[in-house]
């Protein structure tokens, strides 16, 4: 998100320590989202290798 410009940039204090400006982060938290977060698709459970789900057309034994 930082590389895409959707999150405030960090500041390097030392080679192993980075910080963000609190005012910028709070403004980011308060700003409304410009686009909704896409939801992941449900997996096809019939394609599983272990414990696959049988099709609905088959009768249960």
Number of Cβ within 10 Å of residue 3's Cβ equals 7
Instruction: Write down the pTM of the prediction.
Output: 0.50
Cβ neighbours for 19, distance < 8 A, ≥ 6 positions apart: 10, 11, 13
One digit per residue, the tens of pLDDT, for the chain of length 61 reads 888 888 999 999 999 999 999 999 999 888 887 777 788 888 888 888 887 777 665 554 4
């Amino acid at each position: 998100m930082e590389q895409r410009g959707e999150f405030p940039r960090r500041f390097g204090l030392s080679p192993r320590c980075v910080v963000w400006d609190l005012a910028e982060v709070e403004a980011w938290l308060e700003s409304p989202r410009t686009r909704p977060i896409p939801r992941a698709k449900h997996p096809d459970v019939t394609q599983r290798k272990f414990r696959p789900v049988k099709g609905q057309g088959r009768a249960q034994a």
